Structure 1
């Protein structure tokens, strides 16, 4: 019988703590004023839940699609170990996708549903297509970028454009982490790890520039800029340390650790974007999920 813990491992449940910050960053960067709520009303607070459903759907579908490869390379995973039946994983992926789309549509209307549908299509395309090569990395990166835009979608196309910068930074970070994750089983390469270090450096500089150029009027503006810079530093130090280790020792264990750190590194990156948009309180709340996620990921793998 499939246990709840097996399903949690299938969908990498703790890693979902890196997801709500995407849509919050998009909503904040699209002009959400401090204390005024989400665009298009409080209903849009459901968008982080929609994002989480689609993320979990992607994890379940990934393991269903990779079940034959995992039987050789990752036999401990729920499907090859026999703890979760393939049909259960596929049904869960479909159900969670439908739930995510439904919540998005109810929360933000047709525009939000359209972005959520594009996000769901990218998730399924990544999982069902071959996972080697730059196209696969770009597809995965697009899922996180679209997730940020999902948070801005309720306000229409103008707000989507204003959220493009944080969406691009999150997508670029995701591309680096995805490329590095290819070495989790057989080991990576120095060149890939060096590319990830360069990518993270660009993302950190971009985040710092957004912090420094954010509106600074009043105490809230000063606090927001300072907090955004601090969160950017947290992101850069943590992620770069792990990736530099992968440059020095590009074996499977080091690549796996660096990938996990990269996933958790999304939280301070998202928080920095939220703070730069003038929402320091929300940024601190999102950042507070990072240690919780780190603790949970020690018990249920995020990769």
Structure 2
């Protein structure tokens, strides 16, 4: 008696741990209209569940600089979140051809988000992150610009090269430095060891 092939079952459960659609994270059925504004698809593309790990870098940078967290720190957190999300959208845009073969359930190859929309989101989030950093002062903007450049370089080219790990380490270091630069550069931010009298 011929055995039943396990391939279809395996493909139905191939969604990665961060997928919000679980076992049904495969491409939509042909008779189902594809939407470009599905919140779950955007949450999956931007890895919303990982956002809670991002603010710690800015806070650690502020603490390392010896200043109390303030307005600049909040702006640094916002900029860091925007640039992180830009990296997530850009990552899936850059990997769309590979994902179409190996991970067809992801938002772009499954048709739930168009490549153009993902790239536009990456550009918009990058601009938003730089704008927030600019509000914290020129030093913060300079660091955020370097961070944004590192993120784009990593996603578009470096991640598949030996320089990939170094680029990731650079991005993390710049994220810490962003918190320090934004906190120190914001007017009226007292050092941590001096209480205002």
TM range (shorter): 0.7 to 0.9
Task: Give the distance between the partners of 1:56 and 1:49, measured in 2 at CA.
Answer: 11
Instruction: Tell me the TM-score normalised to structure 1 length.
Output: 0.48
Q: Give the Å deviation of 1:30.
A: 0.8
Runs of 4+ in 1 over 3 A off after TM superposition: none
Which residues in structure 2 correspond to 1:84-123 (within 5 Å)? 84-106=113-135, 108-123=136-151
Greater RCO, 1 or 2 (C-alpha within 8 Å, sep 6+)? 2
- Asked whether the 8 Å contact 2:59–2:73 carries over to 1, the reply is no
1:47 is aligned to: 76
Shift of 1:130: 4.7
Matched, 1:140 2:168: yes
Secondary structure, counterpart of 1:77 in structure 2: coil
| Structure of higher CA gyration radius | 2
Q: May I ask how many residue pairs the two structures share in their alignment?
A: 151
- 1:132 Cα deviation from its structure 2 partner: 2.5
Structure-2-length-normalised TM-score:
0.72
Match of 1:12 among 47, 57, 73: 47
Q: Equivalents in 2 of 1:105, 1:14: separation in Å?
A: 27
Question: 1:127 corresponds to which residue?
Answer: 155
Do the aligned partners of 2:58 and 2:73 also contact (CA within 8 Å) in 1? no
CA RMSD in angstroms comes to 1.7
- 5+ residue gaps, structure 1, are 157-276, 279-303
Cα distance in structure 1, aligned partners of 2:91 and 2:108: 11
Aligned partner of residue 83 in structure 1, secondary structure: coil
Q: Which runs of no fewer than 5 residues in structure 2 stay unpaired?
A: 1-34, 186-191
